[in-house]
């Protein structure tokens, strides 16, 4: 989907995603001291808003202006200790203005070449010692899990992300498949499988 298609999707409903942050973003980053963060492909800003509420100064980047405008309105109703700068740009070509302490990519849906470009840009935006966190729909979710994109071209594994950064200098902290329980209409839950990669940039 291109920016116009995502604009249409975001315009068609009040919220495409939840107001609360992704559970893995919240779990992995809760103990990090606040600094400067980039939320690349931020969508409606749920993770950026959560980070800013915890004192982070966040640059929220997405190529859908409709999504960013919705995020800005959501943020206006929140108590934020930090700040959010909303930037309309493509995750594959965005240029950072300075080094960041944290880069987040949550549920980016791109084919391999474009994904690699976005992953490498997010990592390159970090200062040495900075944290890279990616959460995405795992390739195995198509056959084994619940919901998520049905196009295998935009799914990935943790190993795919490590391969995207094969020449980069980092310490892998987590790189694995994780399970997320998805509520069902009958009141039960069903598993969805995500790829989670957390790295520390070394150089």
User: Is residue 15 domain-resident?
Assistant: no
User: Is residue 189 domain-resident?
Assistant: yes
Between CA 156 and CA 108 the distance in angstroms is 10
| CA distances from residue 154 to 47, 110, 116, 151, 194 in whole angstroms, order as listed | 21, 5, 11, 6, 12
User: Is residue 90 domain-resident?
Assistant: yes
Q: Are 36 and 62 in contact (CB under 8 A)?
A: no
pLDDT of residue 3: 53
Return the sign of the alpha-carbon dihedral for residues 38, 6, 63, 83.
Answer: negative
User: Is residue 187 domain-resident?
Assistant: yes
User: Is residue 176 domain-resident?
Assistant: yes
Between CA 170 and CA 137 the distance in angstroms is 23
Q: How many structural domains is the chain composed of?
A: 1
User: Is residue 123 domain-resident?
Assistant: yes
User: Is residue 67 domain-resident?
Assistant: yes
User: Is residue 42 domain-resident?
Assistant: yes
Has residue 158 got a pLDDT over 80? yes
**CATH code, domain carrying 151:** 3.40.50.150
pLDDT tens digits, residue range 74-133? 999 788 999 999 999 999 999 998 899 999 999 999 999 999 999 999 999 999 999 999
Q: Are 3 and 63 in contact (CB under 8 A)?
A: yes
**pTM (2 d.p.):** 0.91
pLDDT tens digits, residue range 20-79? 899 999 999 999 999 999 999 999 999 999 999 999 999 999 999 999 999 999 999 788
Which domain, by its residues, includes 83? Answer: 3-10+20-29+38-201
Exposure pattern of 167-197 as b/e (b: 16+ CB <10 Å)? ebebeeeebebbebeeeeeeeeeeebbbbbb
């Amino acid at each position: 989907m291109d920016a116009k298609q995502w604009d249409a999707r975001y315009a068609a409903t009040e919220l495409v995603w939840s107001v609360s942050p992704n559970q893995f973003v919240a779990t992995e980053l809760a103990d990090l001291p606040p600094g400067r963060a980039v939320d690349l492909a931020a969508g409606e800003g749920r993770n950026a808003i959560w980070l800013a509420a915890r004192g982070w100064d966040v640059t929220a980047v997405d190529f859908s202006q409709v999504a960013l405008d919705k995020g800005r309105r959501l943020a206006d109703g929140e108590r934020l200790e930090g700040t959010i700068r909303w930037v309309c740009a493509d995750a594959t070509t965005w240029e950072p203005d300075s080094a960041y302490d944290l880069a987040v990519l949550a549920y980016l849906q791109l084919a391999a070449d474009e994904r690699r470009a976005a992953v490498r840009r997010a990592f390159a935006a970090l200062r040495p010692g900075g944290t890279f966190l990616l959460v995405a729909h795992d390739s195995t979710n198509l056959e084994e899990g619940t919901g998520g994109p049905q196009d295998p071209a935009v799914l990935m594994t943790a190993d795919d992300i490590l391969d995207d950064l094969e020449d980069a200098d980092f310490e892998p902290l987590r790189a694995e498949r994780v399970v997320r329980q998805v509520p069902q209409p009958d009141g039960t839950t069903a598993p969805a499988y995500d790829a989670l990669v957390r790295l520390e940039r070394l150089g």
